[in-house]
Amino acid sequence: MSAPGVAIRPMAARDVAEAAAISRLAFGTFLKAPDLATFRSDTAAVETRFVTEPELALVAESEGRLVGSIMGMGWGSQLALGPLSVHPDFWGRGVARRLTAAFLELPIVRAAPLVSLYTMPASTMHLRLYESFGFASHHLTAIMEKPPQASGEARLFSALLGDARAAALAQCGAVADAVLPGLDLSRQISALAEQQLGETVLVDGAGELAGFAVCHIGRGTEAGEGTLYVKAAMARPGAAEAFERLLDGIEGLAASRGLARIVAGVNAARRDAYRRMTARGFRTALTGVAMQRPDETGTLRADAYVIDDWR
């Protein structure tokens, strides 16, 4: 059954609080959270993403009522779709399909060479929805956790000023471009600093930046209370030693802030990165599947030392 009178429009600032509440309710209901009132109440994914990229945020309304939303993250040549959420009262009425179709028609999305997303592999409903829009399933993505250990000191983007900060941003771009041509997380790094959501860890190599990690920290970010969430991190392809030092820096940062846990997603196609994280004590708390349109490998390669999950 379709929802009567559903209209899709750009998200406005006045919509953000309600869209965030619907997103938490929808995901909490789907994941069978024991207390929907407190599920992810210390996180702010919809809120922070809207500030960063409002042009990639849409809402669905039915008879004047907000019933769902969809957002995205533009990473240069790769664009991530999500989160997509619909109020449980409107599940099964085609709202998610309307939101997805409208999102994929946005000019910035149409121009992206690769669109990626994370969804639940056990949900045939979600898989069918995205497959109908041309997305293909790839490897599983493990959302992993561990308590931090003070195993390394981190050089931080926030400590840089002026020309040094601009140079570091350009060097992060060079690392990302080496992983996937055109990949660019400069907007995420800048937004993290401007909104004071956390820290970007920098790891040096032989005369060049070897890797970086964009980390949300604490309540009011995508991490939540007592948590460091690695939104995206990468070292140059094949640079196992740099990846280890990047993990050292992440753990050292979390330990220095007195945080209880680190959360980081890694796709199983990145085989050595996955092995190295499990060897450090990271354990899977949630499993998703990566889907991409068109059906291309992108960063889902054995030589890629990349942490992300596109949620």
Residue 29 inside a domain? The answer is: yes
Instruction: Name the domain boundary from 91, 112, 133.
Output: 112
Q: Which of 62, 89, 112 is the last residue of a domain?
A: 112
Handedness of CA 70, 75, 76, 78 (dihedral sign): negative
- 69 and 46 Cβ atoms separated by less than 8 Å: yes
User: Over the Cα atoms of the chain, what is R_g?
Assistant: 19
Q: Indicate whether 165 and 265 sit together in one domain.
A: yes
Residue 181 belongs to some domain of the structure? yes
Q: pLDDT tens for residues 75-134?
A: 999 999 999 999 999 999 999 999 999 999 999 999 999 999 999 999 999 999 999 999
Q: What angle do CA 256, 259, 263 make, to 5 degrees?
A: 115
115 vs 76, 140, 210, 296, CA distance in Å? 11, 17, 26, 10
Structural domain contains residue 101:
yes
- Of 229, 209, 190, nearest in space to 308 by CA: 229
Q: What pLDDT, on a 0 to 100 scale, did the predictor assign at position 1?
A: 43
Return the CATH number at 298: 3.40.630.30
Residues 106, 253 share a domain: no
- Per-residue confidence (pLDDT) for residue 265, from 0 to 100: 98
- The pLDDT of residue 2 is 55
Domain-ending residue, one of 92, 112, 132: 112
| Same domain assignment for residues 155 and 303 | yes
Torsion, Cα 29 98 289 287, to 10 degrees, reads: -10
Domain identity same for 295 and 182: yes
Task: Tell me whether residue 121 is in a domain.
Answer: no
287 and 153 in a single domain? The answer is yes
Residue 5's pLDDT is 86
Asked if 165 and 257 sit in the same domain, the reply is: yes
Residue 173 sits in the same domain as residue 290: yes
* pLDDT under 70: residue ranges of the chain: 1-4
Residue 49 lies in a domain: yes
254 shares a domain with 199: yes
Asked whether the beta carbons of 307 and 250 are under 8 A apart, the reply is no
For residues 252 and 157, membership in a common domain is answered with: yes
Instruction: Decide if 122 is inside a domain.
Output: no
- Domain interval for residue 166: 144-307
pTM of the model as a whole = 0.96
Same domain? For 102 and 226 the reply is no
Note whether residue 129 is domain-resident: no
Same-domain pairing of 252 and 159 = yes
Domain total in the chain: 2
- Could you check whether the bond before residue 148 is cis, i.e. omega within 30 degrees of 0? no
Collapse the DSSP code of 55 into the 3-class scheme (helix H, G, I; strand E, B; otherwise coil) and give the result: helix
Find the angle CA(62)-CA(64)-CA(67) to the nearest 5 degrees: 45
